[in-house]
Amino acid sequence: MGEALNALEARSAKEIIARRTALELKDGMVVNLGIGLPTLVPQYLPADIRVTIQSENGVIGLDKAPEGAQHAYVTDASGKTAAVSTGGAFIDSVTSFGLIRGGHVDVTILGSLQVDQEGSLANWMIPGKKTPGMGGAMDLLVGVRQVIVAMEHTARGIPKILKKCTLPLTAVHCVTKIITEMCVFEVTDAGLVMTELNPQYTIADVQAVTEADFTISDYLTEMKIA
């Protein structure tokens, strides 16, 4: 226990989140990753797990571009240089969104500005600030089988997990799981249920920075980290 806690303390919040989120992925899954923190998840996959990363801009089998081999015309959905893994392919936008809308993507992992206790999510704009566009988020949130929000628990100490989102919604009742550096919440018909807790924190710590109501699972466990 002491060694595990020391290892956790040495990791950043983003690394803890990415490592825990990686454990959600199973061999053979088709996965869509949002920009930012979710792109860290593949580097923490167990060695025996292989997933296919789909990018809504038209890539199936997305991979990280090797250092020094970036190509300006191969990018992910956020416009960052990328590569295509062996067996991957470029596809047109119609096919790409057909995969999403047809339920062929197993899971999307994305960050969020806000999530509420009903599983609704706001992640595409802050009123009054420049917005590049909503991208494929709305399609992803209603078209994939699982929606995992991987994000830091607060923004400069302000809760991001709320009773009701106050920012413009991306989609409603869509999130299935929330993973932060503090804990893991399952989103159920009865509301949020904490199923795992990072031993660096107490339940009271989580309650202090969570506006949403939540219950504690009878089977609450220590947060698993890859």
Is 196 a known active-site residue?
Answer: no
The first and second tokens of residue 209, run together, are 């920075």
What's the CA dihedral at 73, 76, 79, 80 to 10 degrees?
Answer: -90
Could you tell me if 143 and 136 are in contact, meaning their C-beta atoms sit under 8 angstroms apart? Answer: no
The first and second tokens of residue 48, run together, are 């025996």
Q: What is the SS3 assignment for 5?
A: helix
Q: Of 67, 15, 65, 61, whose CA–CA distance to 41 is shortest?
A: 15
Catalytic choice (15, 24, 56, 181):
56
Q: What is the SS3 assignment for 94?
A: helix
Catalytic machinery residues: 56
